[in-house]
């Protein structure tokens, strides 16, 4: 089952990890406790046995119960308890006089006997002597490297078993309580940490296309959520700007289309109002055709921009001789420049080839040269050059025209943007030429830049990767 809420998922993860950690830590603590208790008991048994052995090592030594008790009490430090003491001769026979009263008799395993014969002590745990298992130490009493006796001391594991049980009970009681407390805390923490996300989601829901100027609250904490809010707001700003641009684009486009359509309609209406001579009809039709051309040109430009924007601009990619493209544009537009008494020159043209669409590259250059002609007065100069610049083909169209104020040099690449000086000077122009040129340059992996100063002229530079 997939749990949708991050809060719940976090809490479940948290509880699972905590349970796992507590079980591991609890298990390790239990193991350590058992080990150290057993170790301590073995040490104490060893000390009791040694104390008794050292007291008297003669084969006939006797151990009054009070002394044995005293030894036990010294090393175990508590009473009453089930303790055992037993003397055996080297063949393993019990010395009945030397056992503690009121306790069972200690067994002697073959292994312990063998070990004792070799002079080694053995620890064993045996069951059945009382309610709890008994830990026994069998220690040989040596005299001149000979085993003269065997001492067995034993101790019930009752206290150890009880301590271990108490530990387990505490763990079993504390674990669920701890888990409940921790999971409640985990849930509250997750709730608190994710609250800003809920707030952001609610704010984002309120923002629609009409209210893109609204922003989500930024907590200002500098953490991941603050970062998320900032990123959302940056995205909203970009969306907002894009929406504004799209709106302006459609308003401008309708406006630009409306003007020639109104003119066209007016001309046709006037033409139809009364009977005209064939020459007058012809003049009317020619004028109407001019407007239709203008509309067609505009629609064509809009379509190209829309396709370029959507990344579906069709390109007939081939190796293109850029020099040839520039020459064709030069010879086609030279008469237009000359008609305005402008000196139009072809500067140095290097034979460079690029991968691209010949027609589109022609259109891009035409737009730049056409602008230069439009915005350069009589006696002005225009130069077109083609050079290689670090693996790029650089087309430079420079003129001595009206220039562009620096604060408008970025905006002129937006569709329909025209400087007020340009509006005053040239009636013809749609404001699409540079946007189209830029889209074509971009579609060829290139860029377009302008350097200009008002009254001193402009220089447009297009960079396109050269085919090496
Ligand atoms: P259009 O020329 O149809 O107005 P463009 O997109 O080609 O549209 O150019 C946008 C604006 O950039 C122009 O209106 C003009 O203000 C400015 N501009 C472009 N080329 C030049 C130039 N060579 N000299 C001065 N201004 C220019």
pLDDT at res. 325: 96
> Of ligand 1's atoms, which has the minimum distance to the CA of residue 419?
16
pLDDT at res. 299: 93
Q: Say if residue 332 is in the same domain as residue 304.
A: no
How high does pLDDT run on average in the chain? 88
- Provide DSSP, 297-329: HHHHHHHHHHHHHHT------EEEEHHHHHHHH
In terms of residue numbers, what domain contains 387?
318-465
Cβ–ligand 1 contact at 385 (below 6 Å): no
Q: What is the pLDDT of residues 398-453, one digit of tens each?
A: 999 999 999 999 999 999 999 988 888 866 788 999 999 999 999 999 999 999 99
pLDDT at res. 49: 87
Q: Say if residue 344 is in the same domain as residue 367.
A: yes
Rounded distance from Cα 397 to ligand 1 centre (Å): 13
Alpha-carbon gap, residue 405 to 139, rounded angstroms: 108
| Domain closes at, from 145, 163, 181 | 163
Q: For residue 41, which of 84, 98, 3 has the smallest C-alpha distance?
A: 84
Do the Cβ atoms of 422 and 375 come closer than 8 Å? yes
Q: Say if residue 248 is in the same domain as residue 344.
A: no
| Domain closes at, from 120, 144, 163 | 163
Residue with tokens 């921009």: 305
* Strands across the sheet containing 381-389: 343-349, 381-389, 392-399, 457-465, 447-453
Q: Say if residue 324 is in the same domain as residue 294.
A: no
Of 336, 374, 413, 453, the residue with max ligand 1 atoms within 8 A of its CB, to mutate for a pocket test, comes to 374
Residue 64: inside a domain, yes or no? yes
Which residue's alpha carbon is nearest to atom 4 within ligand 1?
A: 431
Residue 153: inside a domain, yes or no? yes
Q: Say if residue 43 is in the same domain as residue 139.
A: yes
Spell out the per-residue pLDDT of the chain, length 468, in tens.
677 788 888 888 989 999 999 999 999 999 999 999 999 999 999 998 888 887 755 556 666 767 777 778 778 776 556 788 888 888 877 776 665 654 567 888 899 999 988 889 999 999 888 788 999 999 998 887 888 888 888 888 988 999 999 999 999 999 899 889 988 998 998 888 888 888 888 888 888 777 888 888 888 888 888 898 899 899 999 998 888 888 888 898 898 899 889 999 998 998 888 888 999 999 999 999 999 998 999 999 999 998 998 888 888 899 999 999 999 999 999 999 999 999 999 999 999 999 999 999 999 999 999 999 999 989 999 999 999 999 999 999 999 999 999 999 999 999 999 998 888 886 678 899 999 999 999 999 999 999 999 999 999 999 999 987
Alpha-carbon gap, residue 129 to 135, rounded angstroms: 10
Residue 202: inside a domain, yes or no? no
Of 297, 371, 437, the residue with max ligand 1 atoms within 8 A of its CB, to mutate for a pocket test, comes to 371
Cβ–ligand 1 contact at 457 (below 6 Å): no
> Of ligand 1's atoms, which has the minimum distance to the CA of residue 415?
6
Do the Cβ atoms of 42 and 135 come closer than 8 Å? yes
Alpha-carbon gap, residue 283 to 292, rounded angstroms: 14
Which residue's alpha carbon is nearest to atom 2 within ligand 1?
A: 429
Which residue's alpha carbon is nearest to atom 21 within ligand 1?
A: 371
Cβ–ligand 1 contact at 394 (below 6 Å): no
Q: Say if residue 377 is in the same domain as residue 445.
A: yes
Q: In this structure, what DSSP letter does residue 146 have?
A: E
Residue 183: inside a domain, yes or no? no
pLDDT at res. 46: 93
Q: Say if residue 159 is in the same domain as residue 10.
A: yes
What is the tally of structural domains in the chain?
3
Alpha-carbon gap, residue 380 to 378, rounded angstroms: 5
Query: Residues near 338 by Cβ (< 8 Å), separated by ≥ 6?
Result: 344
Q: Say if residue 328 is in the same domain as residue 300.
A: no
| Domain closes at, from 291, 310, 329 | 310
Whether omega before 109 lies within 30 degrees of 0, making that bond cis, reads: no
Cβ–ligand 1 contact at 186 (below 6 Å): no
Alpha-carbon gap, residue 229 to 223, rounded angstroms: 10
Residue 181: inside a domain, yes or no? no
Alpha-carbon gap, residue 426 to 416, rounded angstroms: 14
pLDDT at res. 181: 92
Question: How many residues belong to the chain?
Answer: 468
Q: Say if residue 270 is in the same domain as residue 344.
A: no
Q: What is the pTM of this model?
A: 0.60
> Of ligand 1's atoms, which has the minimum distance to the CA of residue 436?
6
Token couple for 43: 């040490």
Cβ count within 10 A of residue 106: 23
pLDDT at res. 225: 86
Q: What is the pLDDT of residues 445-457, one digit of tens each?
A: 999 999 999 999 9
Pairing of strands 381-389, 343-349: parallel
For residue 94, the domain's CATH number is: 3.30.450.20
Do the Cβ atoms of 182 and 15 come closer than 8 Å? yes
In 66-106, DSSP assigns E strands to 83-88, 94-95
> Of ligand 1's atoms, which has the minimum distance to the CA of residue 418?
14
Q: Say if residue 254 is in the same domain as residue 340.
A: no
Rounded distance from Cα 258 to ligand 1 centre (Å): 21
Q: Say if residue 299 is in the same domain as residue 281.
A: yes
Measured N-to-C along each axis, helices 158-206 and 6-55 cross at an angle, to the nearest 10 degrees, of: 160
Do the Cβ atoms of 344 and 337 come closer than 8 Å? yes
In 57-99, DSSP assigns E strands to 83-88, 94-95
For residue 292, the domain's CATH number is: 1.10.287.130
Q: For residue 152, which of 105, 114, 91 has the smallest C-alpha distance?
A: 105
For residue 384, the domain's CATH number is: 3.30.565.10
Cβ–ligand 1 contact at 466 (below 6 Å): no
Number of helices followed by number of strands (H, E) in the chain: 10, 12
Q: Say if residue 238 is in the same domain as residue 386.
A: no
Residue 357: inside a domain, yes or no? yes
Residue 204: inside a domain, yes or no? no
Residue 42: inside a domain, yes or no? yes
Of 298, 402, 422, 435, the residue with max ligand 1 atoms within 8 A of its CB, to mutate for a pocket test, comes to 422
pLDDT at res. 286: 93
């Amino acid at each position: 089952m997939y749990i949708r809420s991050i809060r719940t998922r976090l809490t479940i993860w948290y509880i699972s990890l905590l349970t796992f950690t507590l079980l591991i830590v609890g298990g390790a603590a239990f193991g350590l406790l058992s080990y150290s208790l057993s170790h301590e008991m073995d040490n104490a048994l060893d000390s009791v046995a040694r104390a008794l052995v050292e007291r008297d090592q003669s084969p006939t030594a006797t151990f009054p119960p009070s002394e044995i008790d005293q030894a036990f009490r010294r090393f175990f430090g508590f009473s009453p308890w089930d303790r055992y003491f037993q003397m055996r001769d080297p063949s393993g026979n019990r010395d009945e006089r030397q056992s503690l009263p009121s306790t069972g008799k200690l067994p002697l395993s073959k292994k312990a006997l063998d070990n004792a014969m070799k002079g080694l002590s053995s620890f064993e745990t045996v069951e059945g002597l009382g309610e709890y298992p008994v830990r026994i130490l069998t220690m040989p009493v040596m005299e001149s490297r000979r085993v003269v006796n065997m001492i067995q001391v034993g101790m019930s594991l009752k206290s150890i078993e009880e301590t271990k049980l108490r530990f387990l009970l505490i763990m079993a009681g504390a674990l669920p309580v701890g888990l409940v407390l921790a999971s409640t805390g985990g849930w509250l923490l997750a709730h608190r940490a994710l609250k800003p996300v809920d707030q952001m989601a609610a704010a984002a829901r309120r923002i629609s296309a009409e209210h893109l100027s609204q922003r989500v609250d930024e907590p200002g904490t500098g953490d991941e959520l603050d970062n998320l809010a900032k990123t959302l707001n940056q995205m909203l700003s970009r969306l907002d700007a894009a929406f504004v641009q799209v709106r302006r684009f459609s308003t401008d486009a309708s406006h630009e289309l409306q003007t020639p359509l109104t003119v066209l309609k007016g001309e046709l209406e006037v033409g139809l109002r009364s009977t005209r001579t064939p020459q007058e009809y012809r003049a009317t039709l020619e004028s109407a055709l001019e407007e239709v051309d203008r509309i067609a040109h505009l629609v064509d430009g809009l379509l190209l921009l829309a396709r370029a924007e959507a990344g579906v601009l069709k390109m007939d990619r081939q190796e293109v001789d850029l020099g040839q493209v520039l020459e064709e544009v030069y010879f086609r537009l030279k008469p237009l420049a000359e008609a305005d008494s402008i000196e139009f020159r072809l500067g140095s043209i290097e034979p460079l080839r690029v991968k691209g669409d010949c027609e589109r590259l022609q259109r891009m250059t035409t737009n730049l040269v056409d602008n230069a002609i439009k915005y350069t007065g009589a006696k002005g100069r225009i130069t077109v050059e083609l050079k290689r610049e670090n693996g790029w083909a650089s087309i430079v169209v420079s003129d001595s025209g009206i220039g562009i104020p620096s604060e408008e040099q970025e905006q002129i690449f937006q569709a329909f943007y025209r400087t007020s000086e340009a509006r005053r000077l040239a009636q013809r122009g749609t404001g699409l030429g540079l946007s189209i040129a830029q889209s074509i340059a971009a579609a060829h992996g290139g860029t377009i830049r302008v350097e200009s100063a008002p009254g001193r002229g402009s220089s447009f530079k297009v960079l396109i990767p050269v085919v090496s």
